[in-house]
Amino acid sequence: MTFEVGSGLSIGVILTTVILVAAMLIWVERRLLSFWQERLGPNRVGPFGLLQVVADMIKIFTKEDWVPPFADKFSFVLAPAIIMSVILLSFSVIPFAPGVGVVDSNIGVLFVLAMASLGAYSVMLAGLSSDNKYALLGALRAAAQMISYEVFMGISILGVVALAGTFNLREIVLAQEANGWYVIPQFIGFVIFLIAGIAESHRLPFDIPEAEQEICAGYHTEYSGMKFGMFFVGEYLGLVLIASLITVLFFGGWLGPAFLPPIFWFALKSFMFIAFFILLRAAIPRPRYDQLMSYGWLFLLPISLVNLLITGVIILSTS
């Protein structure tokens, strides 16, 4: 079996790597957060606390997997499976390096956006089936937030798509080899995509659907054991996904000086954005729910539309 795009071996390797990276992020996030808060973080289990992930896994697998008697069993079990699978499916179109990837889809960008929309079903089902007021509030917030931020998430990357002339993520990276990284011509698009990406993966400061201080844990209040673990890892998977999408769309994917292999450049750039997301969590307080909504619809939407308009004008006038 050869290691090429779409081969069984590469699918297996990518799947394993992505899940392992997402699990390791639990430790990375705790350590980085603690450094920024002048603490040490988990450093007891293994060297530098690296085996903390293993300890967490053992703990979460041996916990009682309890389904509340008042919950709607089918959708309660379905919800965590949806979020894991849609995010893992999104990774199938990401070009990690030349020859590394699952699918070279001609509609890669649209596929990622579609999967992100399906992710909203997961949180809605989780919140509704839990039959719990906090879960319901979290699901309401998550649904509204994800649907509204998807709009300008899509519009913000249309500038990149227009510049590259393709929806294929691999070809977008190759176009950046010729034209330079799209973060320079599409800086506004990059900032909007970054903000919308945080809101999509409901990370802090936009973790309003699962704001602990307001509504317990939001839509996964009633979840325990590995079902909670799937939401938890799913959130980190979403973080990796957004970071790699930013890398692919705006920062030239695997492109970089030749003294290191392309996959390393991809990993390095993605990790920079993951670290930035964690820094956001350490630094920025959570906005109010209505502030989040008005910020999105009244500020980000016009800006992204204007950005798209100007990009279109420039493309038309130079061609």
Binding residues (CB under 8 A) for another protein: these are: 34-40, 279-280, 282-284, 299
Return the number of the residue (147 or 279) whose C-beta is nearest another protein: 279
What six digits make up the tokens of 136?
Answer: 């319901």
Measuring CA to CA, how many Å separate 226 from each of 19, 68, 216, 217?
14, 14, 19, 16
Return the number of the residue (49 or 108) whose C-beta is nearest another protein: 49
* CB < 8 Å & 24+ apart, contacts of 180-186: 181/250, 181/251, 181/252, 181/255, 182/249, 182/250, 182/252, 183/250, 183/251, 185/159, 185/311, 186/159, 186/160, 186/250, 186/307, 186/311
Least spacing, CB of residue 38 vs another protein, in Å = 5
Least spacing, CB of residue 299 vs another protein, in Å = 6
Return the number of the residue (289 or 295) whose C-beta is nearest another protein: 295
Least spacing, CB of residue 37 vs another protein, in Å = 7
Least spacing, CB of residue 50 vs another protein, in Å = 17
Least spacing, CB of residue 242 vs another protein, in Å = 18
Closest by CA to 232, choosing from 120, 129, 80, is 80
Least spacing, CB of residue 227 vs another protein, in Å = 33
Return the number of the residue (64 or 290) whose C-beta is nearest another protein: 290
Return the number of the residue (9 or 284) whose C-beta is nearest another protein: 284
Return the number of the residue (220 or 281) whose C-beta is nearest another protein: 281
Return the number of the residue (16 or 294) whose C-beta is nearest another protein: 294
Token pair 């002048």: residue: 38
- As a whole number of angstroms, the distance between CA 235 and CA 266 comes to 20
* CB < 8 Å & 24+ apart, contacts of 131-135: 131/68, 131/70, 131/71, 131/72, 131/222, 132/68, 132/221, 132/222, 134/215, 134/216, 134/217, 134/218, 134/221, 135/218, 135/219, 135/220, 135/221, 135/222
Note whether 171 and 95 are within 8 A (CB): no
- As a whole number of angstroms, the distance between CA 140 and CA 138 comes to 5
Least spacing, CB of residue 234 vs another protein, in Å = 26
